[in-house]
Amino acid sequence: MGAVAAPWKQLLLNALDSNSHLKHSSFFQLATVGSNGRPSNRTVVFRGFQENSDNIQINTDTRSRKIEELKKCPFAEICWYFTESWEQFRISGRIDVIDGSNPDSVKLQQREKAWFSTSVKSRLQYLGPNPGLPCISEQPIQDLSIDSSTGPVGAFCLLVLDPDQVDYLNLKSNQRVEFASRLDATGAKCWTSERINP
């Protein structure tokens, strides 16, 4: 028996579709727990859902601060606001960090697929200097090149958020719904929903 689609996923797909003409609709904020225990937030790009699931994919650099944060605490939350349809999604769950050292061959294939689904220009950023460190030179890095047929470089990392709670707010209809997941007796994820006050 196949997994039942998450009830909030169609709401998100509809929001993505109705806001697709706005370039910023594919960006959302990702909050993690910083190494100092404080919130750590940044804007990232939605890279689609993992095949046949409600898991959300994000590409990142293994050298970025969020990787160390997620290794210490794998829980994170997305906040995604669609300006045209006035919808907000707060999606929380656990993030799986898939870098080149992952022992799972299926996950490594997912990482490779994510790599090849990005533009060559996007891939070049993983060859630059370490993100977050002081600039050593004022000169921009020139002459970076990459073979478009070569697999992921070491700095490329796929993050996969497995949602367990979604808080959906529609400001146009003044409607708010909380979705929560649990595992049923067979170990399959199932979702409940409850309308709450906006």
Pick the CATH number of 9-128+149-196 from 2.30.110.10, 3.40.50.720, 3.40.1280.10, 3.60.20.30: 2.30.110.10
User: What does the alpha-carbon distance between residue 177 and residue 182 come to, in Å, rounded to a whole number?
Assistant: 17
Neighbours of 86 (CB within 10 A): 14
pLDDT tens digits for 23-42? 999 999 999 999 999 999 99
3-class state of residue 42 by DSSP: strand
Strand, helix or coil at 136?
Answer: coil
More confident residue, 138 or 25: 25
pLDDT tier for residue 107 given thresholds of 50, 70 and 90: very high
Which pTM does this prediction carry? Answer: 0.91
Partners of 71 in the beta sheet?
none
- Residue 7's pLDDT is 93
